[in-house]
Amino acid sequence: MRHAIGWFLRRFQIVRWLILVLLVVFLAFSAFFTYKAKTADVQEIKSTMQTKTTIYDQNSKVAGTLYGQKGTYVELDKIAPAMQNAVISTEDRTFYSNLGFSIKGIARSVLNLVIHRGEITGGGSTITQQLAKNTLLTQKQSYLRKAQEIFLAVQLTKVYSKKDILTMYLNNSYFGNGVWGVEDASERYFGKHAAALTVSEAATLTGMLRNPSYYNPADHMDNAVARRDLILGLMVDNNKLSQADADAAKATKLTVVDNYSQATAEKYPWFFDSVIEEARDKYNIQPDQLLNKGYRVYTTMDPTAQTQLQNSFAQDWAFPANASDGTKAQAASVVVDPKTGGVIAVVGARGQHVFLGYNYATQLQRSPGSTIKPLMVYTPALENGYSYDSILTDKKLSYGTNKYTPTNPTGQYLGSVPMYTALAQSLNAPAVWLMNKLGVDTGVQSLARFGIDLKKEDQNLAAVLGGVTTGFSPLTMARAYSAFANGGKLPETHFITKIVDATGQTVVDNTKTSSKTIMKKSVATEMTSMMIGVFKDGTGQTAAPTGYTVAGKTGSTEVPSSWGYGTRDQWVVGYTPDVVVATWTGFSTTDSTHFLEGTSTSGVASIFKLEMSNILPYTAKTQFNTTDAKARATLQTPSTDDDAADFWSGLQKGVQDGVDSAKDTVGKWYNDIRDWFD
């Protein structure tokens, strides 16, 4: 008996200690979450919902606003009572009496946790908890986040009235199709202000809170009607609607009227994304700060160029064909002012824009193909004594111990070619031959001047053809080519010129831009002369906009021959003295069923030509101070053996004709003198 009592007391001690430990842990967590709740930016929620950051274009005119997950903010008296009643009846019946959380809701969540074996399934959150989650926490489901949500909800009820909380919740809710807030949702689906919503319409919008894509009437009318009728029943159960009024609302036909015009939405999403990226990466202003703190952001955007670029990307016919499974080839373009480095237009991807999604224009790392040749090979060649018409060896040769053997795209070799032809026709063999003569280190140093750092493992002859492990973005390539358009001066590309905070203080000032000279103006001019030939009679002929002289370079990277005839990436980087445009296209993931058929002459050329044709009419139309290298060479000296043969043949014929003419003249004189003596 004594042994049994001792056993029981020991077990009781263990249980008591466990309870004590759990109590201490609970108190510690409570203290931690209370501290977190009290130090959270709860007081700022309402003001940030009402505050918008304004973006200005290069002319200091308003281009749009940044406001993240916020729509047009309206006070509670501008929201129909039917909408308020529908939301409370569905989401939180004890809203006006609870402390920010519901004991029953928590109990249901715990029960669901047991039923689903520890999986958090959501649900059980009050309106206040949902507001805390949407404005102060991440959407990731976890036990800690759920606990923190409850403490934040309690803090919210201490800071704000119930009416304020309901107002903020309705203005912060997502209603599908890119629409946030009840006011914009009312305009998007029913063509009216939130104050004018009928009971039927209010129940429909409330039903969308569960799953906006599945229950919105614009895309799934049957689902929307079924969900509406369920909400109306809940309103009856909660004594917010009579059964007769509910039946009348159910009998009402829903008609979608979209008055949510594009003018009220974001017009330049890719440029705005790039602004947010630059503010974060360059000036350490985080996206949530930029979106919610009421900044005035002045940018380099040219609204005409941006609109024209977006219009070009809307033309599916201009892009390479889809893959066999329907996957679209991706693409991106950047337009830069070479004098200032200001990005005047950008599109980061094809298809529906995703807020702060992957931006191929600024974040891409793909092989640049032959667009690297002018930067790595031909510029340093001019600086080391070569001329635009210097003769280069064009033969299939092997280099180094690994027998690296570059080949021309056509498989043909001319033996020798002038440098301007090698560049314009994008011949690989003479480019590598020339790099081998100059030394790879010379090419690496040249790239560094253009703002391109080549990794150690990529510092070899293969880099001449774009054979690199880590590639570059259109923004990087546009900046590099700006040095040619800007007379040898490399600008610093940027989207932001100035940021002013809500108090009027300038927190970023980038208005005084500068460029650094990386090559002589004469070298830049000679390079432009050779690159005009790319679009005159070289690989960029099909990309040339009618009526304009453009210089630049095409590029592509090959796929394994077993896949077929095609490329992984296609590039065109082209410029005038006014603008530099860098365009890339390719699949996000390249494999045997997802690659570009043909080369850049039949793929990226179409979109580049369309972009230039749309943008150049709105530029200053400044002319180059040089002409096509081939035309210059033809005027100065014959450039081929055939031309030389023709020249010497003509010279010989002229001399012979002169001799024959002289003989005839002398003979005539002799006969005249003889006749005189006779």
Catalytic residues: 91, 370
Nearest-angstrom CA–CA distance, 162 and 99: 10
- What one-character DSSP code corresponds to residue 317? G
Instruction: Compute φ and ψ for 664, nearest 5 degrees.
Output: -65, -45
CB-count exposure of residue 139 (10 Å: 0-12, 13-18, 19+): exposed
CB-count exposure of residue 541 (10 Å: 0-12, 13-18, 19+): middle
Strands 391-394 and 415-418: antiparallel
Nearest-angstrom CA–CA distance, 551 and 164: 60
Q: At what angle do helices 162-172 and 143-159 cross, to 10 degrees?
A: 130
Q: Closest by alpha carbon to 212, among 183, 236, 250, 181? A: 181
- φ/ψ region of 504 (left if φ > 0, alpha if ψ in -120 to 50, else beta) reads left
| Greatest Cα pair distance in the chain | 174
The contacts of residue 22 (CB under 8 Å, 6+ apart) are none
Nearest-angstrom CA–CA distance, 516 and 339: 11
Helix (H) or strand (E) holding 431: helix 428-438
Q: Closest by alpha carbon to 153, among 168, 141, 174, 142? A: 168
Q: Closest by alpha carbon to 149, among 180, 170, 127, 167? A: 127
Beta strands, E only, 23-168: 53-56, 62-66
Q: Measured in whole angstroms, how far is the alpha carbon of residue 580 from the centre of its chain?
A: 17
Nearest-angstrom CA–CA distance, 600 and 603: 5
The contacts of residue 189 (CB under 8 Å, 6+ apart) are 175, 201, 204, 205, 216, 217, 218, 256, 257, 258
Nearest-angstrom CA–CA distance, 20 and 11: 14
Q: Closest by alpha carbon to 228, among 205, 210, 197, 257? A: 205
Count of all residues that appear for the chain in the document = 678
Task: Tell me the CA distances in angstroms from 200 to 186, 212, 248, one per residue in order.
Answer: 12, 17, 9
Angle at 232 between CA 227 and CA 237, to 5 degrees: 125
3-state secondary structure of 575: strand
Two tokens, residue 8: 């029981």
Cβ atoms within 10 A of the Cβ of 53, count?
25
Angle at 518 between CA 512 and CA 523, to 5 degrees: 125
With beta carbons less than 8 A apart as the criterion, state whether 157 and 42 touch. Answer: no
- The identity of residue 189, as a single letter, is Y
